[in-house]
């Protein structure tokens, strides 16, 4: 499987670093020179392809490491190039001050993206994985969970397979509507974490036994 990561910010960098040893990865953003500088800064030269945005979207899986508030414009502009593709949404719909969400309880960022891209197969993942967790995903109770959602069962399975070599426990979390809860889990963890002094490296793991 080949994968393209869109967005050269914190999560884009963390995802590219995690995926590059296992898959054919291309990284892209609004400015190819910025992407090249990021590849160099992260010591990934030769391990990751850099391409202009429009040319990089012909991948099996396209991961959008962008803010929810930028996704509508992105989807409108690139919908045709994303037809039939698996599009991974990692966004939580935070307000500018990160204290709340811009969406109500009756929808989620992932569902909104699927509405904007009806001919693509949207998959939600990494909603609860704070960027610092990528560097240290093992907690006392085990690895951090990544909850994978989609209304397309095959797309969900494909993304779970893509993420399987990464140092997380990758769980099937069902349909996209579950992101109404999953995304709000991030908001809750941020607040509870802040109250108890774990502010950057925090994550979820569901306790259970077969």
In the complex, the residues that contact ligand NAP under the rule CB under 6 A are 7-12, 29-30, 34, 65-68, 70, 74, 90-92, 94, 126-127, 129-131
DSSP 81-93: GGTT-EEEE----
The C-alpha torsion from 39 through 49 and 90 to 201, rounded to 10°, is -30
The minimum distance between CB 40 and ligand NAP, in angstroms, equals 14
The minimum distance between CB 43 and ligand NAP, in angstroms, equals 18
- Compare residues 8 and 120 and give the one whose CB is closer to ligand NAP: 8
- Two tokens, residue 33: 């020179």
> Which residue in this structure is represented by tokens 């296992």?
22
The minimum distance between CB 129 and ligand NAP, in angstroms, equals 5
- Nearest CA to 114 out of 142, 89, 139, 78 is that of 89
The minimum distance between CB 209 and ligand NAP, in angstroms, equals 28
- Compare residues 126 and 204 and give the one whose CB is closer to ligand NAP: 126
Q: H or E stretch including 162?
A: helix 153-163
- Two tokens, residue 194: 């802040």
- Compare residues 28 and 209 and give the one whose CB is closer to ligand NAP: 28
The minimum distance between CB 23 and ligand NAP, in angstroms, equals 19
Residue nearest to ligand NAP (CB): 9
- Compare residues 91 and 123 and give the one whose CB is closer to ligand NAP: 91
**Alpha carbons 32 and 50: distance in angstroms, whole number:** 7
- Compare residues 72 and 154 and give the one whose CB is closer to ligand NAP: 72
- Distances from the Cα of 82 to the Cα of 40, 159, 180, 184, 198, angstroms: 28, 16, 24, 27, 38
């Amino acid at each position: 499987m080949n994968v393209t990561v869109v967005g050269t910010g914190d999560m884009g960098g963390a995802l590219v670093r995690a995926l590059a040893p296992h898959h054919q990865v291309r990284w892209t953003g609004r400015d190819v020179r910025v992407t090249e500088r990021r590849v160099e800064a992260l010591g990934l030269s030769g391990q990751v392809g850099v391409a202009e945005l429009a040319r990089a979207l012909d991948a099996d899986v396209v991961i959008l490491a962008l803010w929810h508030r930028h996704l509508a414009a992105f989807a409108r502009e690139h919908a045709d190039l994303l037809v039939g593709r698996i599009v991974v949404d990692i966004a939580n719909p935070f307000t500018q001050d990160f204290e709340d969400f811009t969406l109500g309880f009756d929808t989620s960022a992932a569902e909104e993206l699927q509405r904007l891209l009806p001919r693509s197969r949207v998959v939600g993942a990494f909603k609860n994985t704070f960027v610092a967790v990528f560097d240290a995903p093992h907690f006392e109770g085990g690895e951090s969970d990544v909850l994978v959602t989609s209304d397309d069962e095959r797309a969900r399975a494909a993304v779970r397979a893509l993420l399987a070599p990464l140092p997380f426990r990758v769980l099937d979390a069902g349909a996209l509507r579950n992101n109404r809860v999953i995304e709000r889990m991030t908001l809750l963890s941020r607040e509870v974490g802040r109250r108890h002094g774990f502010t950057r490296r925090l994550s979820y793991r569901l306790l259970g036994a077969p």
